[in-house]
Chains A and B, each alone.
Chain A
Amino acid sequence: MLEAILSLGGVGFFAALALGFAARKFAVEVDAREAAILEVLPGANCGACGFPGCGGYARAVASGAVAPELCPPGGPETVARIARIIGVAAIAVDPQVAVVICQGDQQRATEKYRYLGISDCRAAQKLADGPKTCPGGCLGLGTCAAICPFGAITMTDQHLAVIDRDKCVGCRKCVEPCPRQVIKMTPRSVSVHVLCNSHDKGALVRQYCQVGCIACQLCKKVAPEAYVIEDFLARVDYRHAVKPTAGVEVAIEKCPTHCIRDDNPPPAPVPDEKPAPQAA
Chain B
Amino acid sequence: MKIKRFSGGLHPPEHKSTAARAIEQCSLPDELVIPLAQHIGAPAEPCVVIGDTVAKGQLIAQPRGFVSVPIHASSSGVVTAVEPRLHPMGRPLLAIVIKPDGRDAWPDGLEGGMNPLLVNPLTLPPSRLRDMVCNAGVVGLGGATFPTHVKLSPPGGKKIDTLILNGVECEPYLTADHRLMLEETGRVLAGIDILRRILGVERVCIGIEENKPDAIAVMRDACVRRDIEVIALKVMYPQGAEKQLILAVTGRQTPSGGLPMDVGVVVQNVGTAAAVADAIIHGRPLVERIATITGPALVEPKNLRIRIGTSLRHLVAECGGLREEVVKVIMGGPMMGQTQLSLDVPAIRGTSGLLLLGKNAVATRSEGPCIRCARCVSVCPARLLPTTISAYARRDMIAEAERFNALDCIECGCCAYSCPARIPLVQSIRQVKGAILAKRRLS
In the assembled complex, A127 has its CB within 8 A of some CB on chain B = yes
Task: Tell me the complex Cα distance, A89–B366, Å.
Answer: 57
Given the interface pairs A112-B341, A113-B341, A128-B341, the reply to whether A118 lies near B431 with Cβ below 8 Å is yes
Given the interface pairs A112-B341, A116-B366, the reply to whether A127 lies near B90 with Cβ below 8 Å is yes
B431 touches A116 (CB 8 A): no
- The interface residues of chain A, by DSSP majority, are classed as loop
CB-defined contacts of B427 to chain A, threshold 8 Å: 117-118, 123
In the assembled complex, A164 has its CB within 8 A of some CB on chain B = no
Q: How far in angstroms is the closest Cβ of chain B from A136?
A: 14
CB-defined contacts of B339 to chain A, threshold 8 Å: 113, 127
In the assembled complex, B394 has its CB within 8 A of some CB on chain A = yes
Q: How far in angstroms is the closest Cβ of chain B from A113?
A: 6
A118 touches B424 (CB 8 A): yes
Interface 0/1 of B405-443, CB less than 8 Å to A:
000000000000000000010011011001000000000
The 3 closest A-B pairs by CB, nearest first: A128-B90, A123-B431, A117-B427
In the assembled complex, A126 has its CB within 8 A of some CB on chain B = yes
A126 touches B341 (CB 8 A): no
10 more A-B residue pairs beyond the given contacts A118-B428, A120-B394, A120-B428, with a C-beta to C-beta distance below 8 A: A113-B339, A116-B364, A116-B366, A116-B424, A117-B424, A118-B427, A123-B427, A123-B430, A126-B430, A128-B341
Q: How many residues of B contact A (CB 8 A)?
A: 14
A120 touches B431 (CB 8 A): yes
Q: List 24 A-B contacts (CB under 8 A).
A: A112-B341, A113-B339, A116-B364, A116-B424, A117-B424, A117-B427, A118-B394, A118-B424, A118-B427, A118-B431, A120-B394, A120-B428, A120-B431, A122-B431, A123-B428, A123-B430, A126-B430, A126-B431, A127-B90, A128-B89, A128-B90, A128-B341, A129-B90, A129-B91
Given the interface pairs A116-B366, A117-B424, A118-B424, the reply to whether A128 lies near B91 with Cβ below 8 Å is yes
Task: Tell me the complex Cα distance, A118–B427, Å.
Answer: 7
What total count of A-B pairs have CB within 8 Å? 33
CB-defined contacts of A122 to chain B, threshold 8 Å: 431
CB-defined contacts of A129 to chain B, threshold 8 Å: 90-91
Q: How far in angstroms is the closest Cβ of chain B from A115?
A: 10
Task: Tell me the complex Cα distance, A123–B426, Å.
Answer: 11
Task: Tell me the complex Cα distance, A171–B341, Å.
Answer: 37
Q: How far in angstroms is the closest Cβ of chain B from A211?
A: 24
Task: Tell me the complex Cα distance, A242–B434, Å.
Answer: 42
Task: Tell me the complex Cα distance, A159–B353, Å.
Answer: 35
CB-defined contacts of B90 to chain A, threshold 8 Å: 127-129
Q: Which B residue's beta carbon lies closest to that of A124?
A: B427
CB-defined contacts of A120 to chain B, threshold 8 Å: 394, 428, 431
Interface 0/1 of B54-95, CB less than 8 Å to A:
000000000000000000000000000000000001110000
Q: Which A residue's beta carbon lies closest to that of B422?
A: A116
Seen from chain A, the residues whose Cβ lies within 8 Å of a Cβ on chain B are 112-114, 116-118, 120, 122-123, 126-129
Q: How far in angstroms is the closest Cβ of chain B from A218?
A: 30
Q: How far in angstroms is the closest Cβ of chain B from A233?
A: 19
Q: How far in angstroms is the closest Cβ of chain B from A128?
A: 2
Q: Which B residue's beta carbon lies closest to that of A147?
A: B396
Task: Tell me the complex Cα distance, A128–B364, Å.
Answer: 19
Q: Which B residue's beta carbon lies closest to that of A146?
A: B396
CB-defined contacts of B91 to chain A, threshold 8 Å: 128-129
A126 touches B434 (CB 8 A): yes
Task: Tell me the complex Cα distance, A34–B172, Å.
Answer: 65
CB-defined contacts of A127 to chain B, threshold 8 Å: 90, 339
Task: Tell me the complex Cα distance, A116–B362, Å.
Answer: 12
Task: Tell me the complex Cα distance, A129–B91, Å.
Answer: 7
Q: How far in angstroms is the closest Cβ of chain B from A244?
A: 43
CB-defined contacts of A118 to chain B, threshold 8 Å: 394, 424, 427-428, 431
Q: How far in angstroms is the closest Cβ of chain A from B60?
A: 26
Q: How far in angstroms is the closest Cβ of chain A from B429?
A: 10
Interface 0/1 of B86-113, CB less than 8 Å to A:
0001110000000000000000000000
CB-defined contacts of B364 to chain A, threshold 8 Å: 114, 116
Task: Tell me the complex Cα distance, A126–B431, Å.
Answer: 8
Interface centre among B366, B428, B430, B431 (most CB of A within 10 A): B431
Task: Tell me the complex Cα distance, A114–B424, Å.
Answer: 15
Task: Tell me the complex Cα distance, A64–B126, Å.
Answer: 64
Interface 0/1 of B13-53, CB less than 8 Å to A:
00000000000000000000000000000000000000000
Task: Tell me the complex Cα distance, A113–B89, Å.
Answer: 14
Q: Which A residue's beta carbon lies closest to that of B432?
A: A123
Give residues 198-235 of B contacting A (CB, 8 Å).
none
Interface 0/1 of B218-254, CB less than 8 Å to A:
0000000000000000000000000000000000000
Q: Which A residue's beta carbon lies closest to that of B423?
A: A118
Interface centre among A117, A118, A122 (most CB of B within 10 A): A118
Q: How far in angstroms is the closest Cβ of chain A from B211?
A: 31
Give residues 349-404 of B contacting A (CB, 8 Å).
364, 366, 394
Task: Tell me the complex Cα distance, A94–B19, Å.
Answer: 69
CB-defined contacts of B89 to chain A, threshold 8 Å: 128
Q: How far in angstroms is the closest Cβ of chain B from A133?
A: 10
Q: Which B residue's beta carbon lies closest to that of A127?
A: B90
CB-defined contacts of B366 to chain A, threshold 8 Å: 116
Q: How far in angstroms is the closest Cβ of chain B from A141?
A: 12
